[in-house]
Amino acid sequence: MSRGIAPLLARRIRSSANHGTDDIDRTLWDACVVGSGPGGAVAAATLAEAGWRVLLIERGAYRPADQLNFRFLDMPMRLGRLDVTKGARVALHQGNVLGGGSIIWGGVAMMPPGFVFDEWAHVSEVDSITADSLAPHYAYVAKTMSVTRQKIEQENRSNAIVRQMAAALGQSEGLELVRRYTRGCRGTGLCNIGCGFDLKGTMANSFLPTALETGNLTVQTECEAVAFDGEQTRSGFRATALHVVVRDVATGHRISRFAIKAKAFIVASGAIHSSALLLRTRAFDCRLNTRKVWLQRPRGDSIPGQAV
């Protein structure tokens, strides 16, 4: 695992503070990737390593490891962002930082058990993706992100209590030490606010530095995708440009707004925000196959195919 992003490579990470954005909107990129979590960073790295000129945009800032401090009232909002739906019915706290959820969440690296693949094959008829076909990919990711099985000596107080409870209930047989993407662990139990010891194999410690080394990857942080320009074709939606806003992360003030042109776009801004980005795109027809997607407004009246 790389030890973070070296200072020379960090120059390729643009932010509102250190660069203008003029050349970014004048370039026709081979690919533009939205979101730098495990989905976006791995896609961007794979393409950059294959020789594509890639622009990766991320809404949050780059937070080098020395900015992670285990402070409980500071880190969740510095590394994450809390969004609520209208009426505050649903709250979503998501990674909002270069590296996305890999920086802020637990670091547990589980492989789905066999019954998940069986269900995909039998219920959903997805039989081309199997445990065997994914095995080399799991192995590659595990190596790149330093996935290791935890040791009992690394168990923290909370887990020790769970183990005692399980033993008291006579259920300790089913407990196993999980695999995590860490190179060691100090047992603080505070993984969910970022690791101040920088022991996680986050995107910033694995895929991103390698991709930056190729010289093919440019990263623009504090840059929020707003909506696509494009057209609906017979084979699907074809994006031609992506409108983005660059903001000062500290104040939220808008610094610039422009459109990015690329031959291909990859939307990897998380489960909710990927959908939200497509729904904000006027020309995008959110009917899936022939079924109309109906979205509920908080008060209950349904509207076809529009963002709420």
Ligand X SMILES: Cc1cc2nc3c(=O)[nH]c(=O)nc-3n(C[C@H](O)[C@H](O)[C@H](O)COP(=O)(O)OP(=O)(O)OC[C@H]3O[C@@H](n4cnc5c(N)ncnc54)[C@H](O)[C@@H]3O)c2cc1C
* 244 contact partners, CB below 8 Å, separation of at least 6: 57, 223, 224, 225, 226, 257, 258, 259, 260
Which of 246, 295, 276, 299 has the alpha carbon at shortest distance from 16? 246
Distance of closest approach, residue 266 Cβ to ligand X, in angstroms: 11
Residue 163 or residue 179: which is nearer to ligand X going by CB? 179
Q: What angle do CA 111, 169, 155 make, to 5 degrees?
A: 50
Given the structure tokens 């490579």, which residue do they identify?
9
Instruction: Kindly state the number of chain residues that form the binding site for ligand X, as judged by CB under 6 A.
Output: 30
**Would you call 212 helix, strand, or coil by DSSP?**
helix
Residue 204 or residue 224: which is nearer to ligand X going by CB? 224
Residue 158 or residue 302: which is nearer to ligand X going by CB? 158
Which one of 108, 161, 167, 264 is in contact with ligand X (CB under 6 A)? 108
Q: What is the dihedral of CA 222, 226, 229, 232, to 10 degrees?
A: 130
Site for ligand X in 44-103 (CB under 6 A): 57-60, 94-97, 100-101
- Could you tell me the end-to-end alpha-carbon distance of the chain, in angstroms, rounded to an integer? 42
Distance of closest approach, residue 299 Cβ to ligand X, in angstroms: 26
Distance of closest approach, residue 300 Cβ to ligand X, in angstroms: 27
- Determine, following the binding rule CB under 6 A, whether residue 37 of this chain makes contact with ligand X: yes
CB 235 within 8 A of CB 31: no
Which of 37, 25, 31 has the alpha carbon at shortest distance from 51? 31
Residue 122 or residue 149: which is nearer to ligand X going by CB? 149
Q: Please choose, out of 34-42, 48-56, 150-158, 164-172, the segment that lies near ligand X by the rule CB under 6 A.
A: 34-42
Task: State the DSSP H helix or E strand holding residue 148, giving kind and residue range, or none if neither.
Answer: strand 147-149
Distance of closest approach, residue 80 Cβ to ligand X, in angstroms: 8
Residues facing 92 on adjacent strands: 83
Distance of closest approach, residue 223 Cβ to ligand X, in angstroms: 6
Which one of 21, 24, 33, 39 is in contact with ligand X (CB under 6 A)? 39
The most distant pair of C-alpha atoms in the chain lies apart, rounded to whole Å, by 65
Q: How far is CA 54 from CA 59, 120, 189, 277, 286, in A?
A: 17, 33, 36, 20, 27
Site for ligand X in 241-300 (CB under 6 A): 268-270, 273, 277
Distance of closest approach, residue 290 Cβ to ligand X, in angstroms: 27
Distance of closest approach, residue 267 Cβ to ligand X, in angstroms: 9
Strands 236-247 and 254-267: antiparallel
Residue 182 or residue 216: which is nearer to ligand X going by CB? 182
Structure tokens belonging to residue 213 = 């080394």
Distance of closest approach, residue 191 Cβ to ligand X, in angstroms: 7
- Determine, following the binding rule CB under 6 A, whether residue 194 of this chain makes contact with ligand X: no
Distance of closest approach, residue 166 Cβ to ligand X, in angstroms: 20
Structure tokens belonging to residue 196 = 């101040």
- Determine, following the binding rule CB under 6 A, whether residue 218 of this chain makes contact with ligand X: no
**Binding interface with ligand X (CB under 6 A):** 34-40, 57-60, 94-97, 100-101, 105-109, 192, 224-225, 268-270, 273, 277
